[in-house]
Amino acid sequence: MAAKGDSPDPTRIALMTELAQFIDAHADETLPLARLAREAGLSPFHLQRSFKAVIGVTPREYQAAARLRRFKGRLRDGDSVLGATFEAGYGSTSRIYELIDGGLGMTPSAYRASGEGESIVHAVRETGLGLLMMAATPRGVCFVQFGDTREALLAELHREFPKAALAQAGSAADKALRPWMTALAAHLSDAAPRPDLPLDLRGTVFQIRVWRFLLSVKPGDVVSYSEVAAGVGSPRAVRAAASACAANRLAVLVPCHRALRADGGLGGYRWGIDRKRALLAAERRAS
């Protein structure tokens, strides 16, 4: 047996990984620790300790996340809120509304809607870091992304908001978008200050906490993914914090480029490492 503090042995890692897959497949069922222990051939105590050492969370926490993923997947596939509720194993809709502050970040009907009934205006222009699209709802900017072509950017916007009514900027009703785009382009091309624009943030509660934390990081400063996780009150959720950065759909305005690996390496960036490096360099020069 490994000494206390050592990493789990490969056999135990394989067993816990297999058990996690079992939980994924049976997320809608009641899975008491005793049942999982029998499945793994371990005592409940050793199962709990081994699972957390390998997976990073308890079996109960893992099942809660798996159940939420199933629920969200059913909603994305067009299932009703009631149908998705019972398919995910929640038993009652009252349980779902408890998740609004714990995982969804919005009401289930709003999550299922995928922008249905909303009007989103968009504009594209060339910047110092390449072609950029900005899109906004009446609440604020909901999409800022770099791309190779206008067609690819429009396709990505449609993937993010498949049920929204998309319109190119130009009418009096969307007169705010063009100045916002001009201000952001000036920041990218001419070292003007990053514009403080109204944002329409959409994601899980954890993702929104991460994005708001990143908004508090000053230009020219950087933080590690570990510091991001600690800053949102979940110090063990380092990978989840990195994933939230990768899920950010508001390039530059939510400055996920300021998050680095613990060793100071750039890590990943949704729009390319070269852009991340350029953004950091420009902010350091300006500061």
256 classed as catalytic: yes
Q: What is the DSSP string of 1-63?
A: -PPTTSPPPHHHHHHHHHHHHHHHHTTTS---HHHHHHHHTS-HHHHHHHHHHHHSS-HHHHH
Amino acid at 92: S
Partners of residue 124 on adjacent β-strands: 133
Say which of 47, 177, 256, 280 is annotated catalytic. 256
Would you state the structure tokens that stand for residue 99, as one six-digit string?
């998740």
What distance in Å separates the CA atoms of residue 142 and residue 107, rounded to the nearest whole number? Answer: 18
The rounded Cα 230 to chain-centroid distance in angstroms is 16
- Residue whose C-alpha is closest to residue 203's, from 153, 150, 256: 256
Sign of the dihedral defined by the CA atoms of residues 251, 253, 255, 257, in that order: positive
3-state secondary structure at position 163: coil
Other CB atoms within 10 A of residue 269 CB: 19
Catalytic residues: 256
